[in-house]
Structure 1
């Protein structure tokens, strides 16, 4: 581990813990209307993609038990 060759006074270390800068950062720029519309469009595209993949993916996840059940019920009704 690196050790300093000179001693550091404790008061200096304690003072550095509560040091606050007197330089204020510049104010944040407000996004323009076109930036807001672009962010909204990207968000809507992502959400619609997720919803679309869910709608198209649900039939693929179907186990087919409902189709087999309906065939059995039709066969039992026909007897």
Structure 2
């Protein structure tokens, strides 16, 4: 395609990597009290949901209380 006719000196490319601006960026805005409260409420909701899923899910994963075993033991008693 189109090629540059003049060569770019290597020193110019190396200086471009080290360039520092003399303009400082503005400081980040501090979140308001309502934003902090909302973020913490969302975090607590997520943590409570995970804890609740563990609380209700672990008994279902317990191999000692499998529904198939309970039915077999009831059937063997009636014989």
Task: Give the TM-score taking structure 2 as reference length.
Answer: 0.72
Where has structure 1 moved over 4 Å in runs of 4 or more? none
Q: CA RMSD in A?
A: 2.1
Aligned to 2:15: 15
Aligned to 2:62: 62
Q: Which structure 2 segments of 5+ residues have no match? A: 70-79
Report the 3-state secondary structure (helix = DSSP H, G, I; strand = E; otherwise coil) of the residue aligned with 2:63.
Answer: coil
Report the 3-state secondary structure (helix = DSSP H, G, I; strand = E; otherwise coil) of the residue aligned with 2:55.
Answer: helix
User: How many residues are matched?
Assistant: 66
Higher relative contact order (CA 8 A, sep 6+): 2
Distance (Å, rounded) in 2 between the aligned partners of 1:23 and 1:48: 45
Task: Give the TM-score taking structure 1 as reference length.
Answer: 0.72
